[in-house]
Structures are given as structure tokens and as C-alpha cells.
Amino acid sequence: MKRLLKRAVGILLLLVIGLLAPIGYIELACRPEGGGTEYAAILPPDQHRPEGRTLLTYPEWHIVHAYDDYAKVISTGDPHDYKYLPTIGGFWASLCSLSKASGPHGGFPS
């Protein structure tokens, strides 16, 4: 019984680490490169949105299109045919690239 409990705790710990690894990677390894650049804004300050926030719309649309792709797969075949891991990996890879590219635009908002 004790051995089974140790094994279950170990598996749970590995699962938690596996789920937190992409977040840790994004936060630690995907830092923005370069500093913000000065520019003359066209819009008044109350209507201005940080450029880094604009870059964050891409991962949001990645999720939207993933649902659309999944709907196409299940409408024509088996849900198991959907490529879950490449879709998840693509999301995290795009977020990393955008994080690095956000540096000259002021980085991601906190």
C-alpha cells in the first residue's frame, strides 16, 4: 500500500512538472530581445494600446483556428485523427517567438 502511494505521488509529481514545463520555458527562456523604441503615436494616449499587446492576439487566434481545425477533423472522421501534440506545440512555439519579437515594441504588458 505504501509503495503504491509513493508511485502515485511520483506519477502525479511528474505530471505536474510536465504541465508546468512549457510555462517555465516561456517565462525563462523566451525573454524579449531589445528595448522599446520611441515613436510618435498617432492616437491620443487614452486610445493607445501597447504594441506588445497587439502581438498577443496571434496566440489567441491560434486557439480559435485550432478549434476550427478540430471541428473539421471530427466532422469528417475520428477525433483521434486530430494532431493534438503538434497543435499544442505550435501554440507554445508561437508564443515564444512573439515574446522575443515583443522587445522592440515594449514587451508584453505585465
For 16-33, the pLDDT digits (tens) are: 999 898 888 888 888 887
Q: Are the beta carbons of 55 and 98 closer than 8 angstroms?
A: yes
Give the model's confidence band at 110: pLDDT under 50 very low, under 70 low, under 90 confident, else very high. low
Section 64-73 average pLDDT: 93
Place of cell 512555439: 93
State residue 6's pLDDT score: 93
Is the entire prediction scored with pTM above 0.85? no
Mean of pLDDT values over 20-48: 80
How far does CA 88 lie from the centroid of its chain? 8
Domain boundaries, the chain: 2-37+49-105
Average model confidence (pLDDT) across the chain: 85
